[in-house]
């Protein structure tokens, strides 16, 4: 199962800008259930934008170095991207040198933003530590097919878009046929991108969970062949999943919170197969409409990742 998400690079200005697409299909991996139907996990849209920026940075340095996850000032989750959607991806490189790449990105469906990265910074590390230069160049050549987004797909008119979404919601009412489920209710890959067990639980205050990292996880084939490390986005998706469960159990009285942003993200160390990551979540702030959760992750008493997530209150009818 591939962990490469950019389907096609449409346009690139060396070391400055790159545009690509990601098709969301029913056979896609990393889907989750929503009232409208199967949607791509938000963190995977972020991963796709990050990979797009990485292609631009790697092409500019002749595939000698590759960026890895480092610091993200903020990402905003605007909307879901559903099966049938084409995500138009734009990544703007703000700075690039031997040490790091800095970029910001937008992901659009039918002209509407679904996900934006305000600013991200990734350290550049030697390519050969992670994957052979030849292999990564082949991956790039496979998807670099310049073209125009407009010629790919007739955009839906913005006025008809909401009613089409509503029709899709009605057609999926009570059905979750797009996402294969295991017996405990997780979709197969929601499980992969989730935590494994809760080790302490204090409603409305704090929760600690663990995620065990196994070499059998499907993302390790591509991330990376020579040095398997847990993708930051998988860890963030696990954090969001923990946050959703924490909030639904902490505030069960008809309040439903949905992740809207992730901010102040920093990956301090690689997490490798065999590691167990502890995820400590604390309620940082709660207002009528918004909750901020802070996360601190460690493995073997070493800090591996910190982040904050902003959840916003949803109208009752959007509850799952």
Partner 1 sequence: MQMTVDQVFPKVRAIVADVLAIDEDGIQLNSRLIGDLGAESIDFLDFIFQLEREFKIKIPRGQLEKNARGDLAEGEFEQGGQVTEKGMQALKAYLSEIPAEAFDKPLKVNEIPMLFTVETFCKLIVNAKAAEAA
Rule CB under 8 A: which residues touch partner 1? 70-71, 73, 95, 97-100, 102, 119, 121, 123, 266-269, 303, 306
Least CB distance to partner 1 at residue 102 (A): 7
Q: Which is nearer to partner 1, 73 or 272 (CB)?
A: 73
What dihedral do alpha carbons 182, 185, 187, 193 form, nearest 10°? -110
Least CB distance to partner 1 at residue 127 (A): 18
User: Which of helix, strand or coil describes residue 297?
Assistant: strand
Residue 26's φ and ψ, nearest 5 degrees, are -65, -25
- CA-CA-CA-CA torsion sign (43, 48, 49, 50): positive
Q: Which is nearer to partner 1, 73 or 314 (CB)?
A: 73
Q: Identify the DSSP state of 224.
A: -
Strand partners, 82: 39
CA distance 132 to 226: 8
Q: Which is nearer to partner 1, 98 or 288 (CB)?
A: 98
Q: Which is nearer to partner 1, 10 or 120 (CB)?
A: 120
User: Which tokens is 35 given?
Assistant: 């009232």
In this structure, the number of other CB atoms found within 10 A of the CB of residue 220 comes to 20
Q: Which is nearer to partner 1, 214 or 268 (CB)?
A: 268
Q: Identify the DSSP state of 148.
A: -
Q: Which is nearer to partner 1, 261 or 267 (CB)?
A: 267
Least CB distance to partner 1 at residue 119 (A): 8
Least CB distance to partner 1 at residue 41 (A): 25
Q: Which is nearer to partner 1, 120 or 189 (CB)?
A: 120
Least CB distance to partner 1 at residue 165 (A): 37
CA distance 285 to 307: 14
Least CB distance to partner 1 at residue 168 (A): 40
Least CB distance to partner 1 at residue 232 (A): 12
Strand partners, 112: 109
Q: Which is nearer to partner 1, 140 or 270 (CB)?
A: 270
Helix and strand numbers, DSSP H then E, in the chain: 5, 15
CA distance 66 to 205: 39
Least CB distance to partner 1 at residue 145 (A): 33
CA distance 152 to 24: 14
CA distance 240 to 210: 14
- CA 99 distance to own-chain centroid: 24
């Amino acid at each position: 199962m591939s962990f490469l998400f950019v389907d096609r690079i449409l346009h690139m200005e060396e070391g400055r800008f790159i545009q690509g697409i990601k098709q969301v299909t029913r056979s896609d991996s990393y889907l989750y259930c929503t009232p409208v139907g199967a949607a791509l996990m938000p963190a995977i849209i972020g991963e796709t934008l990050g990979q797009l920026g990485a292609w631009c940075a790697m092409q500019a340095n002749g595939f000698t170095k590759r960026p890895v996850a480092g610091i993200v000032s903020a990402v905003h989750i605007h909307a879901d991207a559903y099966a049938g959607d084409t995500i138009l991806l734009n990544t703007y490189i703000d700075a690039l040198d031997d040490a790091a790449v800095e970029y910001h990105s937008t992901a659009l469906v039918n002209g509407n933003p679904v996900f934006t990265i305000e600013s991200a910074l990734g350290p550049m590390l030697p390519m050969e530590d992670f994957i052979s230069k030849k292999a990564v160049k082949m991956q790039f050549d496979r998807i670099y097919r310049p073209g125009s987004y407009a010629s790919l797909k007739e955009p839906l008119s913005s006025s008809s878009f909401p009613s089409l979404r509503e029709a899709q919601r009605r057609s999926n009412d009570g059905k979750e046929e797009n996402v294969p489920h295991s017996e405990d209710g997780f979709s197969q890959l929601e499980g992969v991108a989730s935590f494994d067990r809760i080790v302490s639980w204090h409603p409305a205050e704090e929760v600690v969970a663990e995620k065990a990292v196994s070499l059998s996880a499907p993302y390790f084939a591509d991330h990376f062949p020579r040095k398997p490390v847990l993708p930051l986005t998988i860890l963030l998706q696990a954090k969001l999943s923990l946050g959703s469960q924490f909030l639904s159990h902490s505030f069960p009285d008809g309040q439903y919170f949905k992740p809207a942003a992730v901010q102040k993200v920093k990956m301090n160390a690689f997490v490798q197969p065999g590691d167990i990551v502890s995820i400590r979540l604390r309620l940082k702030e709660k207002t009528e409409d918004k909750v901020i959760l802070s996360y601190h992750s460690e493995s073997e008493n070493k800090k591996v990742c910190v982040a904050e997530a902003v959840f916003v209150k949803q109208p009752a009818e959007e509850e799952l």
